[in-house]
Amino acid sequence: MRFALVGRPNCGKSTLFNQVAGYKAETGNFHGTTVTFTESKVRVAGEIIQIVDLPGTYTLQGSNPAEAVTKEYLASNDVDVIINVADASHLAQSLELTLELLGVNRPLILAMNMMDEALRLGLSVDGPGLEKKLGIKVLPLIASKGRGVKHLFLASLELARLQPSYGARFNVCEDDAMARHKMGQQLADEFIKAGTRHLTWRDRLDDILLHPLWGYGTLLLILLAFFQAVYGIGRLIEPPLLAIFDKLIVTVTGPLGPNTIWGALVNGILQGVTAGIAIVLPYLLPFLLGLGLLEDIGYLPRIAFLMDALMHRIGLHGKAIVPFILGYGCNVPAVMSTRTLEEPRDRFIAAALATLVPCAARLAVVFGLVAFYLGPLPALGLYVFNLFVIAITGRVLTGLLPEDVPGLILEMPPYRIPTLKAVFNKAWFRIREFVVEAWPTLIAGSGILALLSYFNLAVYLNYLIRPFTWVLGLPAAVGVPLIFGILRKELSLVMLGQALGTMNFSSAMTPVQLFTFTVFVMFYVPCVATLIMLKKELGTKGMLWITALTVIVALIAGLAARAVAMIIF
């Protein structure tokens, strides 16, 4: 038996799904967090039921990929009951989709979610009246607190067993959106009584957070505090963790002997394991926790609102700010989040620019080379330079791919108090993606690399990339770290010692070379995990274009950096 959850974006479908299925779907107080469907088996009253969480959709006739997924799913799969999750605090809009679903000949149940929010707005909903009018079961729900969930699923099960006729349903002959909009409004007027709205701190918050002046001030403070906390926690955890693993590697590989093939292989694999833990635990985990918090509060759309004007200057609109912010943690979720943009052109540009954002792994390279050997100021300068390069690339891409549908249209959700459980679960969900998809590649790559250097084959790779290193005035030996940096960006740093034959990089490379190398690493070819995601989102062609673009950008930026560095250092 299969139940499908259908509803508008940000109505709480995924929250409901997670309540029954354990944490499997991403939720967020941002339109369109779920972009593909998630399925899970749950047991309800002794029966095993497949529950599907479909992406939020405004209509079944929609055009963006998330909406197409929902439409296709309902058309092609055997769904026993459609559970239409509606936002009771915005019933008129939610009912438009309900009216469309009434036309789909499947058992339908209407879950009025966010009843607490509706109450806060002073709305009283006449559920039984609506139930009678629509001819389908209408049930109250507060998914975030788990209230009404059990009742809803028992009722759905009952409905699936009964297989009622569709004759008693409210009949909408109108097939056009305008008519449904009017009807939704009428129904809402009929069955919802507006009382007095209680103004709370949440309503006042935007007076500050979206203020033309204080809004930007608080945005800066929030982002600063956010990154400060992430790096603060990261720096606290990383060194002791690395020390433990270094000790472990010595203990394990010692008996095997460093110059045997097994010793080299085990060492390589353990290095990969270590790199994964050193990146994920200290930096990515606090980053994802913080992001989840901002997301569930509802701050991300506010950032989009504030940044829209600026984003226009690079040919995108405010919504595309999310991939950029995500990009500083990891480019993989950044590319993934471009799905919420409607236009293929916007998706391409946003994905291309997001891959130029220095992720946590590249941050390690910047810190390890530039900050460590040249000081914190050049490192900070690199970040400013990076923004500059992204802006120029954006301008060029915008010139090449003109916009055809203008502007930002984005729903601004009310602020919500996030539950810690949801935030933790979300971070765990995203971490798991990294562990399952990227980490194995990293470990395998590290092992292969160890074998290559054991057989002394790695040096041949240097010839392959020599044209680039020659133009940039870099030693030929950095070719191997660059190639393996495509596996995972931090390998460019980790392997540099091996490639140069010393851990004191400043003895083998001049400051100009260190600086140029870091700039090149910052931009050239995204890591394998990002490439996989680019292919998934934009197709092979899009992935190849972006790869070519990053090489060109890296080369030009590298040359510019070399020129600047020659003057400074």
Partner 1 sequence: MHLIDIEVGKWVKVIGFEGGAKFQDRLLQHGLYPGDVTRILRKAPLKGPLLVEVSRRELALGREVARKILVEDIV
d(CA 376, CA 367): 8
Query: Does residue 306 belong to the site contacting partner 1 (CB under 8 A)?
Result: yes
Can you point out the beta strands (E) in 173-320? 192-194
Q: Is 55 helix (H, G, I), strand (E, B) or coil?
A: coil
**Buried b or exposed e, range 366-376, using 16+ CB within 10 angstroms:** bbbbbbebbee
Cα(120)–Cα(251) distance, rounded to whole angstroms?
A: 61
Per CB under 8 A, 315 contacts partner 1: no
Q: How far is the CB of 99 from partner 1 (least distance, A)?
A: 13
With CB under 8 A as the contact rule, which of the stretches 165-173, 298-306, 347-355, 467-475 interacts with partner 1?
298-306
Nearer to partner 1, 89 or 386 (CB): 89
**Alpha carbon 34 to its chain's center:** 10
| Cβ 333 to partner 1 shortest distance, Å | 23
Taking CB under 8 A as the criterion, which residues in 75-94 touch partner 1?
Answer: 89-90, 92-93
Rounded to the nearest 5°, which phi and psi values hold at 323? Answer: -55, -35
Q: Tell me, residue by residue from 402 to 441, as one string, x for binding to partner 1 by CB under 8 A and - for no binding.
A: --xxxxxxxxx-----------------------------
- Answer for which of 52, 86, 121, 508 binds partner 1 (CB under 8 A) is 121
Please tell me whether residue 182 binds partner 1 under the rule CB under 8 A. Answer: yes
Q: Is 222 in the site for partner 1 (CB under 8 A)?
A: no
Under the binding rule (CB under 8 A), the answer on residue 181 touching partner 1 is: yes
Tokens of 432: 């798991």
Residue 314 and residue 398 in contact, taking contact as beta carbons nearer than 8 Å:
yes
Asked if residue 199 binds partner 1 (CB under 8 A), the reply is no
Could you count the other beta carbons within 10 Å of the beta carbon of residue 563? 11
Give the integer Cα–Cα distance in Å for 122 and 523: 52
The rounded distance, in Å, linking the Cα atoms of 543 and 568 is 36
Residue 83: strand pairing partners = 5, 109
State the nearest-atom distance from the C-beta of 200 to partner 1, in Å: 15
Residue window 327-346: x/- pattern of binding to partner 1, with contact defined by CB under 8 A: ---------------x----
Sign of CA dihedral 278, 279, 283, 284: negative
Choice from 244, 309, 435, 548 touching partner 1 (CB under 8 A): 309
d(CA 234, CA 203): 35
Question: Cβ 419 to partner 1, closest distance in Å?
Answer: 23
Number of residues lying near partner 1 (CB under 8 A): 40
Task: Considering the complex, state which of residue 2 and residue 416 has its C-beta at the smaller distance from partner 1.
Answer: 416
Q: Site residues (CB under 8 A) for partner 1?
A: 58-59, 62-63, 89-90, 92-93, 96, 121, 177-178, 181-182, 185, 206, 210, 212-213, 215, 301, 304-306, 308-310, 312, 317-318, 342, 404-412
